[in-house]
Amino acid sequence: MIFDILIHGFEWASIYILIAAGFSLIFSASKIINLAQGEFVMLGGLVGFSLYSLHLPVPLVPFLSAVVVAFTGIATERVAICPARRASPTSLIIITIALSIILRSSAALIWGPYSFRIPGFSTAFPFKAVSGVVDPDYLLIIVVCFVSISLIGLFLKKTRLGRSIRACSMDAIGARIMGVSPEKMRALSFFISAGLGGLVGVLIAPVFYASSDLGLNLGIKGFCAAVLGGMGSIPGAVAGGIIIGLSEAVGASFASSYRDIIAPVLMLVVLYVKPKGIVGGRD
């Protein structure tokens, strides 16, 4: 029982961490809260299913799908965010909401109202040893989350591009003086975040199925995790994701119908007590 709760908790936590990291990356590069992040996850799953049905080699599917969604991300940024960069923060939030509506409806037009299941990727990976104890698909999600979060952390800390993104989050004008283009960093952050979302989308498709209405709920959870931990910080995304994932797993085992309220309520409490989130600095 407790083991089950923990496994599910960490599985959900991994998903939320990756989505929250997407929110945080875009926020730190451009101070935009991209509410279309969940739709990138949805797209990832559906694109993954289409690629899978083309009989491509299975381990290739997640990567290809992530790349396709990453380019969708950069395209949305170019078309909708870039021309409106002078709008107020709230107008930009409304733009990203409109983007999410467009992405969701377009996906519903293309793929229809069906749920698609991609058979587990884990069969293509060497995970068979533990499959008696834990569903290998869950384990794959947790492992991929761990690896990609570590990679993103390294990217932001150690590489020149990553440091440029962090420079923009500290002081956009200062960064520009030092030869970093905030516009390019914004585009890059959309690229990485969308790709990350796409990756999550494919990986959860064997468990939760891929469908066009998946994005909203996941996006909101991931967004709550990001705000809870502190918008714009990767450790914050990890903390927020784990807190929300575990509390949902615990909550779902007691009163499953109230499960979807847990994340918004937790977020509201934190927003009220400490608006910059758990890991964030002073208000």
Partner 1 sequence: MRKIFIKWTVFIGAAVAVPFIFEYILLYPLEPVLRAGFFVMLAVSLALVVGLAGQISLGHGAFFGIGAYTAAILATRSGLPAFFTIPLGTLVGMTAGFLIGYPVLKLRSYYLALATLVVGIAVQEFFKAADPLTGGEMGLYNIPNIKIGNFEFYSPLAHYYLVWTFALLTIFICDRISRSSTGKRLKALHSDEEAAACAGIDVFQTKVKIFIFSSALAAFAGTLFAHCSYGTIDPGEFGVSLSIKIITMVVIGGMYSVYGAAMGAIIISLLPELIRRLGDFVYIDLTQITHLNDIVFGVVLIMFIIFNPQGILGKQEG
Q: Which residue in the set 6, 7, 94, 207 belongs to the binding site for partner 1 (CB under 8 A)? A: 94
Chain center to CA of 60: 20
Point out which span in 90-98, 177-185, 199-207, 236-244 binds partner 1 (CB under 8 A).
Answer: 90-98
Regarding 250 and contact with partner 1 (CB under 8 A), the answer is no
Regarding 101 and contact with partner 1 (CB under 8 A), the answer is yes
Nearer to partner 1, 141 or 194 (CB): 194
- DSSP single-letter state for residue 119: P
Helix count and strand count (H, E) for the chain: 11, 0
Instruction: State the CB neighbour count (10 A cutoff) for residue 114.
Output: 12
Site for partner 1 in 182-201 (CB under 8 A): none
3-state per-residue secondary structure call for 102-116: HHHHHHHHHHCCCCE
Site for partner 1 in 218-237 (CB under 8 A): 220, 223-224, 227
Task: Give residue 68's identity as a one-letter amino acid code.
Answer: V
- DSSP single-letter state for residue 87: S
- DSSP secondary structure string for all residues of 190-245: HHHHHHHHHHHHHHHHHHH-B-TTSHHHHHHHHHHHHHHH-TT-HHHHHHHHHHHH
Point out which span in 65-73, 95-103, 126-134, 144-152 binds partner 1 (CB under 8 A).
Answer: 95-103
Point out which span in 67-75, 92-100, 154-162, 166-174 binds partner 1 (CB under 8 A).
Answer: 92-100
Where do we find the tokens 């990832």? Answer: 44
Q: Are 66 and 46 in contact (CB under 8 A)?
A: no
Regarding 278 and contact with partner 1 (CB under 8 A), the answer is no
Site string for partner 1, 52-81 (x = CB under 8 A): ----------------------------x-
What residues line the site for partner 1 (CB under 8 A)?
A: 33, 80, 83-84, 87, 89-91, 93-95, 97-99, 101-102, 104-106, 108-109, 216, 220, 223-224, 227, 257-258, 260-261, 264-265, 267-268, 271-272, 275
